Chains A and B, each alone.
Chain A
Amino acid sequence: MKMKLATWATAAMMAASPVMADLVFPSMSYRTGPFAAGGIPFADGYADYFTLLNERDGGIGGVKVSVPECETAYNTEKGVECYESLKSQNPLVLQPLSTGITYQIIPKSIVDDIPVHTMGYGRTSAKNGGVFSHIFNYPANYWDGASGVVNYLLEINNGDISGKKIALVYHNSAYGKEPIRTLEALAEKHGFELVTLAVDHPGQEQKSQWLQIRRERPDYVTMWGWGIMNQVAIQEAANIRFPMENFIGVWWAGAQHDVLPAGEAADGYKAITFHAVGDDYPVFDDIQKYVVDAGKAAGAGDQVGTVLYNRGVYAAMLAAEAAKDAQAATGNAEITGGDMRDAMEKLTITEERMAALGMPNFGPEFSVSCENHGGNGLVGVAQWDASAQEWNLISDFKQSDQDVITPLIAEDSAAFAAENNIEPRC
């Protein structure tokens, strides 16, 4: 009888003692559908980095991390459903990976006190944290990207691109139209001519646009594309013998799967980026050892070091670092979405910090504040080497033109604040 009582007492004590809940970093992935080729490596990288933290470090601050996945298929309706199902799990940060989904969950995230990180996509003016309290788009946004393209062209033209003709081939959607305003302002500032060419979704047929490019003879072509549009555009550029080194895509048009279908013809194609390419970083050795070789990889383990896998790893690293800051600031290992938001608003990423994580020079240094949720807007350029089948960084992360971008962000965010009766916080 005594033995039974002791057993029950022990069981009751175990049940009553506090259990450390996992830190939840959901992955709103798209591993199926027409855009799966881009969604899989990102989702793998995001999950593998957190698995690495669990396996190597025992989680973050001693608390294990869980990464529940919700399949959005890159579909806005499904993405919103994912948001609704994930919010009950106390997520620390959400990465919707779609501009459409981001727009839908901006108001919800404020109500639910869940920070949203839209790294290199989403609503550009969310950089103004005074208006968009729960949206973060560090380290760079589309307008930084557009300026990054122009900066690079200035760099290779000795600072003078006046009289040059630059064509923008863009996906005919809100996403594709994002850079137009910035490019128009930059065209006025630097004296180049901007030609815009819209491509209808999904972009399988682009003959008209590339015939027009052949006729217009622009000096450079930049592309805001996604999905099949990228592969077709690169092939069409090769078909009309447009010099590939004068063709620069946005960071969503600069992965391996964008260039591989065109084979050798894609050699020299460039894309802007806000993180490093390749797998020559200590963090990947650890991922190989603790995650892939241990059979714990999120996918087949064959994406390590690809552009979008790196982006997933980078996003996870930035989330994990903000979580560490939140733990330090609150003195609690278990943190809430609100704690995370506060930490994200004070996040500073330095070269020392990245090097300590095994990711030296992996991304630009930046800091976040209430006024600035978008970081410093540093953009680099990578180039595809078809024979080696690898991307190489050919330009360091450089400052985008904040003189042009800042007023545009102020204007757009002020309009949003007026429409939604938001009093800027800072």
Chain B
Amino acid sequence: MPEQLAFTIEVFLNGLMAGVLYALVALGFVLIYKASGIFNYAQGVMALFAAMTLVGIQNGQVPFSHLINAIFGTEIHHFGWHVHSVLAIAFTVVVMIILAWAVQRFVFRHLVGQEPIILFMATIGLAYFLEGVADLMWGSEIKALDVCMSEGNCLPQGMNGWIDQTTFDVFGYGFFIDNLDIVASIVAALLVAGLVMFAQYTKQGRAMRAVADDHQAALSVGVSLNFIWILVWSLAGFVALVAGIMWGAKSGVQFSLSLIALKALPVLMLGGFTSIPGAIVGGLIIGVGEKLFEFLIGAPFLGGATENWFAYMLALLFLVFRPQGLFGEKIIERV
């Protein structure tokens, strides 16, 4: 196989993998938007908060230790234990559920019936508040993230030797695929399957879909909006945790993690704000599109670094033909 073709295929495959990671972030946005019509600006910060909480719990870090020490003159930083990853993830999920309850109880319950722009502004405030709380709670330093199921059985990094060897034997060119990306793809597939099954086959899931279709109709048949919104924010929190783990494993857990939301926006524009499959397909298209463009045109002719703006351009191009996105619901307004 010609090297140029082999390299293009390699870029394509890596674009798909990158797209899965974008989709993971976009999923959280979709869940909340679909159920409550809120564009949750804080989704990226939720991923950061979840990942920081996970690492903090894992390392036995005392939350708010800097604050406690400053007020009481103590010198406590760690509990002195290390929590197993599975247990730490479970605790983090509990924290995200509490956060969901708090967001619903103290913010959005008071904003029921407000204009979408008001709700959006509230999520901007929530993002800054959460970022500050995360800083106070766990500190600003960058933390290494090791999610291990057992000793030495952690989230993998690096080239997949089997794929490298096999493709080299077949094509004479070893393809690079990051092990972490493979894990992320499997996790994303399981997550989507789980969400779809939850939405289709559970009572709460059906109630969630009913709320998504029509708030008032759902309310009239006895569905508790309050409960459903807490449920949706909890699910979005869980998705944020998964995204935080996958992105945090690449770069360490740090405040820049909140910027992954920027990667989700073009995915949402392309896939539609209300479709879970749309988030996945949108992520894949953006991932592959930006990588191929960078490889074929950006780097050779434009000096490189085209990925950020190209993703938005691609999304805008789709919007010209399908304003609601690939899978979004077509909005028909009668005047």
- Which A residues lie at the B interface, using CB under 8 A? 31-37, 40, 172, 196-202, 204-205, 207-209, 211-212, 214-215, 227-228, 231-232, 235, 238-241, 257, 260-261, 263, 265, 295, 300
Q: CA A232 – CA B251 in complex, angstroms?
A: 5
**Complex formed: what's the CA distance from A126 to B159 in Å?**
44
Query: How many residues of chain B are within 8 Å of chain A by beta carbon?
Result: 49
Q: How far is the CB of B318 from chain A (nearest CB, A)?
A: 20
The answer to the question of B176 belonging to the interface, with a C-beta cut-off of 8 Å to chain A, is yes
Known: A36-B255, A227-B256, A300-B69. A257 touches B291 (CB 8 A): no
Give min CB distance, A33 to chain B, whole Å. Answer: 6
Beyond A34-B255, A231-B251, A232-B251, whether A207 also contacts B158 by CB under 8 A is: no
Q: Which of B66, B295, B299, B304 has the most CB of A within 10 A?
A: B304
- Chain B interface residues (CB < 8 Å from chain A): 7, 10-11, 14-15, 17-18, 21, 66, 69, 73, 77, 135, 140-146, 157-159, 176, 178, 247, 250-252, 254-260, 263, 290-291, 294-295, 298-299, 303-308
CB–CB B69/A197 < 8 A = no
30 pairs of residues in contact across A and B, judged by CB atoms under 8 Å: A31-B140, A34-B256, A34-B258, A36-B135, A36-B140, A37-B141, A172-B304, A198-B303, A198-B304, A200-B306, A201-B308, A202-B256, A202-B259, A204-B247, A204-B251, A204-B259, A208-B291, A208-B294, A208-B295, A208-B298, A212-B299, A227-B256, A228-B254, A235-B251, A241-B158, A257-B141, A257-B142, A261-B252, A300-B66, A300-B69
**Which residues of chain B come closer than 8 Å to A227, judged between CB atoms?**
256
Question: Known contacts being A34-B259, A257-B142, A260-B144, is A172 close to B305, with CB within 8 Å?
Answer: yes
> Which 5 A-B pairs have CB atoms at the shortest separation, nearest pair first?
A261-B252, A198-B305, A36-B140, A228-B256, A172-B305
A208 CA / B18 CA spacing, docked (Å): 10
List the A side residues contacting B256 at CB < 8 Å: 34-35, 202, 204, 227-228
Q: Chain A: which residue is nearest B299 at the CB level?
A: A212
Assembly CA distance A238 to B295 (angstroms): 21
Q: In the docked arrangement, what's the CA distance between A33 and B143, Å?
A: 15
CA distance A261 to B256 in the complex (A): 14
B56 to chain A, nearest CB (A): 15
Minimum C-beta distance from A288 to chain B (A): 15
Q: Which residues of A contact B259 (CB under 8 A)?
A: 34, 202, 204, 228
Residue contact A214 to B176, C-beta cutoff 8 Å: yes
- B304 to chain A: which residues have CB within 8 Å? 172, 196-198, 208-209
Instruction: Report the minimal beta-carbon distance from B64 to chain A, rounded to whole angstroms.
Output: 13
Tell me the bound Cα distance from A32 to B304 in angstroms. Answer: 30
A239 touches B291 (CB 8 A): no
